[in-house]
Chains A and B, each alone.
Chain A
Amino acid sequence: MIGARSQDEFVAARGADWKELDRLLSSGESLHKLDGATISRAAALYRSLCTDLMRCRAARVTPDLAAHLDGLAGRAHAALYGAQPFRIPGVLAFFARDFPRALRANGRLFAVACALFFLPFAVGLLGALASDDFSTRVMPAQALEEMAKGYSQGFAGGRDAGTDTGMAGFYVYNNVGIAFRCFATGILYGAGSLFFLVYNGLVTGTAVGYVMSVGHGGNIWTFMCGHAPFELTAIVIAGGAGLQMGYALVATEGLTRVTSLRRAAPAIARQILGAASMLLIAALLEGFWSPSSLPAPIKWTASGVFSLLVVLYLALVGRADAASPVAPAAPAALSEARS
């Protein structure tokens, strides 16, 4: 009994509106692409449905009707309060503001991640230069041999385009995968990020050191100098974001662990997205630029420019309008319906 009506009368009276709303929602997933009048109509139908739902709850209608209205209200709610649709300005704002800011806000853990990567890197490098025994303890001898062979020739001949493409694919798969794993395992109270940063630092340092010890140091450094500013920085950023997850679990500042984690999540997402973009640049450089037959001075000059760009970008971009408040996110469909 709803108001002065039986359930059946109520359904007969309101059913047409529910069906109309259902049809609007089923016409397509994205309500914001419809015209303004339709969106307004959907919003009005949704509000009246909310009223119906509350009356039905109070009147204890049969469970099937309640479940049907529940489902309809849920879908309408999702459509009307939908997420912001993908917009180009949003992407620009991300690179021009959000990513560098998020990284600077996490500056301390980024510094820790740098230390966790580059100290083992130095240890590996010096250890491998000091003794072959050290290298073979860190990496399998066979892998070291292949590395050394790979860097035994210079870049005079360059590589053919097919190999370049192939290697770019490999770098995307391998390096971005390393960075993502370095990040994701940080959820285990930072332990995973810590391990992968140290491990990758040590292995990379040892590999470089070994190649130098057999006399191809110039080749490997010239090869690495182009993409390293992007690649190594990005891996460290990913590791730093992972550490931030672990840190949010420990330093909860009175919140529950999960709430503390959720509070840090947007900044963490920005850092990992930024790191992934940098790794994409690195993979393209590593596939096509680094192995090219360009003379070493050009590569080293470019490396200097790249390093400077990365540092300036991460340190300075997005500072200018730091005081301006970030606009609150309005429900997309509703705000468009109003305009």
Chain B
Amino acid sequence: MTPRAVRDPLDTTVEIETPEHVRFRYHVAGPAKRAAAYLVDLAVRGVIVVFVGLLAMIGFAVDSALSHASMGLMLLVAFVVEWIYYVLLETLWSGRTVGKRVFALRVVTEGGHPLRFTDSLLRNLLRAADFLPFGYAIGVVVMGRDPRFRRLGDLVAGTIVIAEARAVVAGPLHLDPPPSLAELRPLPQRLPLSGDELDAIELFLRRAGKLSRAREVELAEMVAPVFARRLGVRYKDAPRFLGVLHYRAHEHRSSSMGAPLGPPLVGGPSSAPKPPRATGVTA
């Protein structure tokens, strides 16, 4: 077996194996999203400092003793905002700060567990090193060299920042208009497509509505000729062709494989009412 065959696909996911011997995947958050979350946090911290600053102004206006106390309060708040803000929120909100909430990010340990107080303390104190010489320059360079986008603080604390996409189970895909007999006839019952290829087609079709028509065609044209050559068929409209392929594969999957060796179901696949997959589970 070549090394290429066993290597994980190049992706920003991290796989975690549990004691139940189940593996599940997290999406690792990249520098851009994390920078955006950082800016939100920066704004929140700025607002806190300005607010306390305004309160302190009242203290300055009253008398000198109070002005010293106000100054002390302001410095205390500055300290909290600079060093404690992240630790406090990440500990209380299980790995999230305001900015991370906005962008659906979360800090977890490398084992996928929620991070503990000391993990958060280490990763956030190390910001002082990541920040050097200015603007998180070291941190960004270190992140760029790490497949899991960890900055120095993450390396020491053993944490990763993940993007929490709560996937919803979408409804079945509908091809509009439904494929005609003429379109389906040239296709074999069992398509010579791998599972990964079918997954790719499905992911493309689910995205298709959000793309412009030109982009849709451009993307579909990248794979449609490959499949057409393999099947020995011709097509006119690449996205439509992929839709028909998906239809054939799905129809195949939801009916005949239920009883792979038995006789064909009476009435055919399309007449059987489908259980409400779409409404069943959404997160």
* Cβ distance B105 to chain A, nearest Cβ, rounded Å: 14
Q: Per-position contact with B for A84-102: 1 when CB-CB < 8 Å, else 0?
A: 1010000000000000000
Give CA–CA (A7, B280) in the complex, Å: 12
Known contacts A64-B168, A169-B71; A184 and B129 CB within 8 A of each other: yes
Interface stretch of the complex, out of A69-77, A144-152, A198-206, A226-234: A69-77
Which secondary structure characterizes the binding site on chain A? helix
A186 shortest CB reach to chain B, Å: 8
* Inter-subunit contact A81/B113 (CB<8 Å): yes
Contact B152 A187 (CB under 8 A): yes
- Nearest to B260 among chain A residues (CB) is A1
The answer to whether A11 and B280 have CB atoms under 8 Å apart is yes
- In the complex, identify which listed stretch (A120-128, A170-178, A312-320) lies at the interface while the others stay far away: A170-178
Contacts of A72 in B (CB 8 A): 283
Contact bitstring A248-277, B, C-beta under 8 A = 1, else 0: 000000000010011001101110110000
Mask for A172-197, Cβ within 8 A of B = 1, else 0? 11101100110111111000100000
> Which of A163, A177, A184, A265 has its CB near the most chain B CB atoms (within 10 A)?
A184
Stretch in contact with the other chain, from B117-125, B180-188, B208-216, B224-232:
B117-125
Using CB atoms, name the residue of chain B closest to A64.
B170
Nearest Cβ distance between residue A31 and chain B, in whole angstroms?
11
Q: Which of A84, A166, A180 contacts B83 (CB 8 A)?
A: A180
How far is it, in angstroms, between the C-alpha of A188 and the C-alpha of B198 when the chains are bound? Answer: 48
Does A165 lie within 8 Å of B69, measured CB to CB? yes
Q: Counting CB contacts under 8 A, is A118 at the interface?
A: no
- Cβ distance B53 to chain A, nearest Cβ, rounded Å: 13
Tell me the minimal C-beta distance from A110 to chain B in angstroms. 18
Could you say which of B83, B117, B158, B283 contacts A86, with CB atoms under 8 Å apart?
A: B117
Interface size class of A (residues with CB under 8 A): 35 or more
Q: Which of A46-54, A133-141, A209-217 contacts B (4 or more CB under 8 A)?
A: A46-54
Residue of A nearest to B282 (CB): A68
Partner of B74, one of A84, A169, A186: A169
Cβ A83 vs Cβ B128 within 8 A: no
CB of B275 closer than 8 Å to a CB of A? yes
| Known contacts A77-B112, A161-B65, A180-B125; A68/B167 CB under 8 A | yes
Of all chain B residues, which has the CB nearest A60? Answer: B195
Q: Cβ of A273: which chain B residues have Cβ within 8 Å of it? A: 118, 121
The reply to whether the CB of A323 lies closer than 8 angstroms to some CB of chain B is: no
A49 vs chain B, min Cβ distance (A): 9
A336 at the interface (CB under 8 A from B): no
B134-175 interface bits toward A, Cβ cutoff 8 Å, 1 = contact, 0 = none: 000010000000000000100111100000111111101000
Q: Is the CB of A62 within 8 A of B113?
A: no
- Interface stretch of the complex, out of B2-10, B22-30, B32-40, B233-241: B22-30
Q: Interface-forming stretch among A15-23, A33-41, A294-302, A303-311?
A: A15-23
Contact B116 A83 (CB under 8 A): yes
Chain A residue nearest to B79 in the complex (CB): A173
Q: Tell me if B281 counts as interface (CB < 8 A to partner A).
A: yes
Say if the beta carbon of B203 comes within 8 Å of chain A: yes
Q: Answer whether A29 and B283 are a contact pair too, CB < 8 Å, given A83-B113, A180-B128.
A: no
Q: Does A157 contact B (CB under 8 A)?
A: no
Question: What's the minimum C-beta distance from A211 to chain B, rounded to whole angstroms?
Answer: 22
The yes or no answer to B221 lying at the interface (CB within 8 A) is no
Q: In the docked arrangement, what's the CA distance between A184 and B138, Å?
A: 13
Cα–Cα, bound, A54→B20 (Å): 11
Contact A84 B116 (CB under 8 A): yes
Give the nearest-CB partner of A22 in chain B. B283
Contact for B114 among A82, A192, A272, CB less than 8 A: A82
CB–CB B22/A68 < 8 A? no
Asked whether, in the complex, the Cβ of A163 is within 8 Å of the Cβ of B65, the reply is yes
* Known A62-B202, A266-B118: A11·B169 in contact at CB below 8 Å: yes
Say yes or no: A74 contacts B156, CB within 8 Å.
no
Known contacts A83-B115, A269-B121: A184-B128 contact under CB 8 Å:
yes
Contact status B113-A64, CB under 8 Å: no
Interface membership of A63, Cβ < 8 A: yes
Query: Is the CB–CB distance between A71 and B22 below 8 Å?
Result: no
Known pairs A73-B22, A176-B83; A78 contacts B203 (CB<8 A): no
Give 8 closest A-B pairs by Cβ, nearest first. Answer: A169-B72, A162-B65, A166-B68, A166-B72, A67-B167, A184-B128, A15-B280, A12-B275
18 example contacts (A-B, Cβ-Cβ < 8 A) are as follows A6-B254, A7-B253, A8-B274, A11-B169, A29-B94, A60-B199, A68-B167, A68-B281, A73-B24, A78-B114, A162-B68, A165-B73, A169-B73, A169-B75, A180-B83, A184-B125, A245-B156, A261-B156
If A64-B168, A170-B71, A173-B79 are given as contacts, then 7 extra A-B residue pairs at C-beta distance below 8 Å, sorted by A number, are A63-B203, A71-B167, A160-B65, A162-B64, A163-B65, A187-B126, A265-B156
